[in-house]
Amino acid sequence: MRHKKVLQALTVAFLTFASTSLGKEYVIYNISQDIPMGYKDERLEKSYFVNIGKVQGIKGGAILNVHRKISKLNPLKTWERHHFKVKVGHLKVVHTEDYSSICEESSIQQKKAQAGSLDIKGFMLGDIVSLKVQEK
């Protein structure tokens, strides 16, 4: 009987841990921008804060993929909802801590097919980030 209770407790602990850590999405949670001074051809620098860091294996110089979830309703067929994960671009990590990093813009996706599906063409709060895997 005691063995069964221990097994149940371990199962509950594992499922709790697995559901909170394995399914976690990493996102842009804050954006910091220079204050515009009104100069001609002024370029405002932005810093993007993400909730992924050293503990997840992120190092300075790493390139992160940025995607946005888009959800659209189809009123022509039983109001079915379709979900899309559209690539927005890449961020470059410039500073990292245990559970967060600061990034700068590396590239914005410019493909016409994807650009038409994005209401906002730049990075925004809630965009999903993941480590870019280099292909050999």
Whether the predicted pLDDT of 27 surpasses 90:
yes
The pLDDT of residue 127 is: 93
The pLDDT of residue 111 is: 56
- For the residues 21-34, what does the mean pLDDT come to? 84
Q: Mapping DSSP to helix (H, G, I), strand (E, B) and coil, where does residue 79 land?
A: coil
- For the residues 52-69, what does the mean pLDDT come to? 93
The pLDDT of residue 32 is: 94
Distance of CA 122 to the CA centre of its chain: 13
- For the residues 46-55, what does the mean pLDDT come to? 95
98 neighbors 53 (Cβ within 8 angstroms): yes
The pLDDT of residue 73 is: 84
The pLDDT of residue 50 is: 97
Q: Mapping DSSP to helix (H, G, I), strand (E, B) and coil, where does residue 12 land?
A: helix
Whether the predicted pLDDT of 49 surpasses 60:
yes
Whether the predicted pLDDT of 119 surpasses 80:
no
* Tens digits of residue pLDDT in 74-87: 888 778 888 888 88
Distance between CA atoms of residues 113 and 79, nearest Å: 24
Whether pTM > 0.75 for this model: the answer is no
* Tens digits of residue pLDDT in 82-115: 888 888 899 999 999 999 999 999 887 665 445 4
